[in-house]
Amino acid sequence: MIFVEKLIHGRLIKRYKRFLADIILDNGEIVTAHCTNSGSMKSCLEHNAEVYLSPVNDPKRKTKFTWEMIKINNDWIGINTGNPNKLAFEAVVNNEIEKLKGYSEVKREIKFGDSRFDIMAKNETETCFIEVKNVTLKEGDYALFPDAVTSRGKKHLETLVKVKENGMRAVMLYIIQRMDISIFAAAKEIDPEYAETLKVAYHSGVEIIPVQAKVTPEKINLVKELTFEL
């Protein structure tokens, strides 16, 4: 995924009200950017850390910038929760994820039951529903999800089980937008219900695919699939 417009550099002053962040740009101007990440952003918030924003030209938007990434431990972490969906869609279309190759029809935002999944992919032999989650939480070598209690995420897992029960392929795809980790797991201490539901879903046939992404101010690339623990 390439950033079409050049991103704007600054430093984080503070994040507040979940969806807002005050940033001081290199020219000294202080702006308020939209933060798409509704979670706690634990382990990826640091006062005065370098950040990059994308400009927004929508006259209806109150904020004229979207917060894209932050530099922690000398590397960029992607915090825009909309980007993993774009990355995943492009990757499935272009056969860039080994376990998700071979689909001739790929669509976004498709409803099944009482949930709407990020991607539906089809070929002559199967239909696959894919839910995509952005992962930024780090603890040691682990990338963890979620970073806050998510009833919506739990519901997605339960509906993926129903997808599998209906004879279709069900995939939970975690896009990890940081390079300083080596394994994925559920954040049991933060949301034990989600962790338990993920385990049940996996044993019911729902596939877990964690993929690491390299984030830079120019582009975001999927790098490799990681192992996981339940």
Rg (CA), the chain: 18
pLDDT tens per residue, range 50-99: 999 999 988 888 899 999 999 998 999 999 999 999 999 999 999 999 99
69 φ/ψ angles, rounded to the nearest 5 degrees? -155, 160
pLDDT at 93: 96
**What are the structure tokens assigned to 207, written together?**
């596939």
In a domain, 1, yes or no: no
pLDDT at 59: 82
Task: Pick the last residue of a domain from 22, 45, 78.
Answer: 78
Q: What is the pLDDT along the chain (230 residues), one digit of tens a residue?
A: 999 999 999 999 999 999 999 999 999 999 999 999 988 998 999 999 999 999 998 888 889 999 999 999 899 999 999 999 999 999 999 999 999 999 999 999 999 988 889 999 999 999 999 999 999 999 999 999 999 999 999 999 999 999 999 999 999 999 999 999 999 999 999 999 999 999 999 999 999 999 999 999 999 999 999 999 99
72 closest CA partner among 46, 48, 41: 46
H/E segment holding residue 196: helix 192-203
Q: What is the C-alpha separation between 205 and 59, in angstroms, rounded? A: 46
Q: What is the C-alpha separation between 79 and 222, in angstroms, rounded? A: 15
End-to-end CA, the chain: 30
Same domain? For 115 and 199 the reply is yes
Residue 64: which CATH number? 2.40.50.580
Q: What is the C-alpha separation between 152 and 15, in angstroms, rounded? A: 23
98 φ/ψ angles, rounded to the nearest 5 degrees? -50, -45
Would the pTM of this model clear 0.75, i.e. be above it?
yes
pLDDT at 38: 86
Same domain? For 68 and 107 the reply is no
What is the domain extent for residue 220?
83-229
Pairing of strands 207-215, 169-176: parallel
Q: What is the C-alpha separation between 228 and 80, in angstroms, rounded? A: 23
76 closest CA partner among 145, 159, 179: 179
Same domain? For 98 and 184 the reply is yes
Same domain? For 109 and 23 the reply is no
Same domain? For 118 and 173 the reply is yes
pLDDT at 167: 95
Same domain? For 124 and 171 the reply is yes
Q: What is the C-alpha separation between 182 and 62, in angstroms, rounded? A: 38
Pairing of strands 142-145, 183-186: parallel
Whether 147 and 42 have beta carbons less than 8 Å apart is answered as yes
